[in-house]
Amino acid sequence: MMQFGRRSIERLGTCCKQLQEVCAKALSYNVFDFSVIEGHRTVERQKELYDEGRSKIDGVHKKGKHNYNPSLAVDIIPYPSNINGVNVWNDKQRFCVLAGLMYAAASELGYKIRWGGDWDGDGDNADSTFHDLPHFEIIS
């Protein structure tokens, strides 16, 4: 049975209970392992990501889901970071499988989530102009 590591547990602990439950359920399927890379974000961290072009929200003029405490968003990546010479950041297929696991877990638990690979939730990730494949957020 797969388990989160210490750092993933700490980061997931900064997220709302619904996201904690969704991540735990997705991991319990034992399809493949994943790590939590970020939950709650300070405004300074949000601005840093915005300045680097890795976020569309600066945290100052517009608050992001990561900026709530507890966080309404979580960033996760498939583990291990390299399989057959393909770095995880270049492995869209693994992120898509992970998204499927997260959607299944959320549905099973009765929650709605949004994935940064398909912002409009229409099942077509080719129509999004900005992809944030590690990003999942709870929809109220």
Per residue of the chain (140 residues), give pLDDT as tens: 899 999 999 999 999 999 999 999 999 999 989 999 999 999 999 999 999 988 999 999 999 999 999 999 999 999 988 888 888 888 899 999 999 999 999 999 999 999 999 999 998 888 888 899 999 999 97
3-class SS string, the chain: CCCCCHHHHHHHCCECHHHHHHHHHHHHCCCCCEEEEECCCCHHHHHHHHHCCCCCCCCCCCCCHHHCCCECEEEEEECCCEECCEEHHHCHHHHHHHHHHHHHHHHHHCCEEEECCECCCCCCHHHCCCCCCCEEEEEC
pTM: 0.94
How would CATH label the architecture of 6-139? Answer: 2-Layer Sandwich (3.30)
